[in-house]
Amino acid sequence: PAPPWSILAITFTNKAASEMKERIRAMAPESADDIWASTFHSMCARILRRDIERLGYRRDFTIYVADDSERLVKSCAKELNIDSNLPPQALTRIISRAKDNLLMPEEFAAASGGDLRMRTAARVYRLYQEKLRAANALDFDDLILQTVRLLRSSAETLDYYRRRFRYILVDEYQDTNIAQYKLVSLLAGSEGRLCVVGDDDQSIYRFRGATIENILRFEEQFPGARVIRLEQNY
């Protein structure tokens, strides 16, 4: 049997994560606390609390919720004299999508080309990120973005978590975005035992950047994968 501490189970909502933990505790009460069973964001926050200093932040970073982020974006737009044609809500969505695609401000600006709206958003994104760093804060999207950056830039950190998590389960895989796919790929590596569960007909987060190709191309992205079809509804 797999050692409990070597298992990582990831899902999307706190409710689903709680249900997973309850089932684990019912099956293996003595080992339940050794298994990481959480949402993507909770898992990333836990990793960052340990190693974020490698990215120049302090471990006691603050996590901004949606309202905090929107207020800061609004402040940045005001400081840059951005007119009302691009309201804070729209700017916040654009910045969030950029982070879902693993684009830092400089990369997002370079990808904006001649699109005036995107170039304006890039200016706000750059200032917004500077203010987050100055406050030693991360927004919700940063939790995954910065974890990917950490694993990419620190071979020691990546090796530690690859050795720790020998068995990885991802629920609702059809709702993962680019950043979440990259995170899972980094942790699993070429030898990790990765199991994903999903249904390409049930993607509910496409409007929020979910990439349906992640599940459609799973066998291509992870050669040798075994597909088990659940064709009866229980």
Report DSSP letters for 120-171, one per residue.
Answer: HHHHHHHHHHHHHHHTTEEEHHHHHHHHHHHHHH-HHHHHHHHHH-SEEEES
pLDDT surpassing 70 at residue 205: no
187-211 as b/e: b if 16+ CB within 10 A: bbeeebebebebeeeebeeeeebbb
Rounded CA-CA distance 175/97 in Å is 14
pLDDT surpassing 80 at residue 207: no
Q: What value does the mean pLDDT of the chain take?
A: 91
> What is the tally of helices (H) and strands (E) in the chain?
11, 6
End-to-end alpha carbon distance in the chain: 27
**Both tokens of residue 156?**
């020691």
Q: Find out whether 178 and 102 touch, Cβ atoms under 8 Å.
A: yes
Of residues 212 and 122, more confidence is placed in 122
Q: Find out whether 203 and 212 touch, Cβ atoms under 8 Å.
A: yes
Rounded CA-CA distance 10/169 in Å is 6
pLDDT surpassing 90 at residue 215: no
Q: Which residues contact 10 (CB under 8 A, 6 or more apart)?
A: 38, 39, 40, 43, 168, 169, 170, 171, 184
**Both tokens of residue 25?**
């505790």
| Residue among 54, 83, 210, 57 at smallest CA distance from 139 | 57
Rounded CA-CA distance 205/128 in Å is 25
Q: Is the pTM of this model over 0.75?
A: yes
pLDDT surpassing 60 at residue 47: yes
